[in-house]
Amino acid sequence: MSLNEWNGGGWWARDWERHTPLGPITASILAVIAWLVFILLYALYWSTKFNLFQNVVVTVVSLVIMVLFIGLVWAVWSMTFTRPWKRREQPAAVG
């Protein structure tokens, strides 16, 4: 692999087009929408049974669960599609 092919996009551009992160982006957007719907339904129907502190705890815990889910989705995607790139031959140092 020549340095021009490495710097000019070459294999990286081709592989990136094949492995775009469409799945994780879609999952992230859907997770945020689902969380907003949950918070709205919770505020409208279930929050009257709890005091302010309990409502804040439910909101924070649900937010943490959503962030962990999104992080897991992105971690799985990155581990799946970066492994082939790590095995590629690195160009020799110039200079």
The token pair that represents 23 in the structure block? 């799945």
Q: Can you spell out the DSSP letters for 22-41?
A: HHHHHHHHHHHHHHHHHHHH
| Residue in this structure with the two tokens 């590629």, named with its chain if needed | 88
Q: Which amino acid is at 21?
A: P
| Total number of domains constituting the chain | 1
Note the pLDDT of residue 61: 98
49 domain-assigned: yes
Residue type (1 letter), 28? S
Inside any domain, residue 28: yes
Q: Which domain holds residue 50?
A: 21-86
Tell me if 5 is assigned to some domain.
Answer: no
| Residue 46, domain member (yes or no) | yes
| Sign of CA pseudo-dihedral 25, 26, 28, 32 | positive
Splitting the chain (95 residues) into consecutive groups of 10 residues, what average pLDDT does each group show? Answer: 52 64 94 98 94 96 98 91 63 56
Return the pLDDT at 11: 58
Q: Is residue 73 in some structural domain?
A: yes
Closest CA to 91 of 4, 16, 15, 9: 4
pTM for the complete prediction? 0.71
Establish if 29 belongs to a structural domain.
yes
Is 77 within the bounds of a domain? yes
Residue 68 maps to a domain: yes
